[in-house]
Amino acid sequence: MKTVLCPGTYDPVTIGHLDIITRCSAMFDEVVVGVVDESYRKTVLFSTGERVHFLQESTKHLPNVRVAVMRGLVVDFAREVGARVLVKGLRALTDFEYEFQMAQLNRKLDPELETMYLMASPEYSFLSSSGVKEIARYGGCVADLVPPVVAERFAEMYGSVEG
């Protein structure tokens, strides 16, 4: 069985993330979406439980996708779930620079763990969780940028941002 790990903070999950996860589900036997529990790189808006819930609701139609909380090093979590491949989505050259560094560090820690990149579909190449959060915070419509469960949560937090 070929298992792949799609790690990230998913704060929140966007339709761009879901595009990558859906495409992975067509290529691999099992897709584990690893939700980073404690991010040292980013301050998160949503709790780990909320982010897991958003992903579970948004991927329930994909039978070979499961969502799990990821703690510690990604290489250790990949071993734990039986994944030999990490998949990361790339939107632009700036994404590649950071992801390339991370892939090299991960390869140093586990030479058998491969990193695979999927280019964002063109219609999602502009989409970021931070951009979505800013739009929602200022009352903009995010309904076509995030799954319904996330749009509903933003509406609870900031008023009607669903459109």
Which domain CATH number covers 43? 3.40.50.620
Helices (H), 4-158: 15-27, 48-59, 74-81, 93-109, 129-137, 148-158
**162 domain residue, yes or no:** no
**101 domain residue, yes or no:** yes
User: In this predicted model, which residue has the larger pLDDT, 79 or 162?
Assistant: 79
**131 domain residue, yes or no:** no
pLDDT of residue 128: 94
**86 domain residue, yes or no:** yes
The total of structural domains in the chain comes to: 1
Gap between the Cα atoms of 31 and 87, Å rounded: 10
Largest CA distance in the chain: 48
Question: Please, are residues 78 and 86 in contact by the beta-carbon 8 Å criterion?
Answer: yes
Residue with the two structure tokens 């301050």: 43
pLDDT of residue 57: 98
Q: Is the pLDDT of residue 110 over 70?
A: yes
**8 domain residue, yes or no:** yes
**132 domain residue, yes or no:** no
pLDDT of residue 161: 57
Local confidence band at 34 (pLDDT 50, 70, 90 cut-offs): very high
C-alpha pair distances (Å), 154 with each of 44, 80, 122: 14, 33, 25
Q: What is the pLDDT of residues 111-127, one digit of tens each?
A: 999 999 999 999 999 99
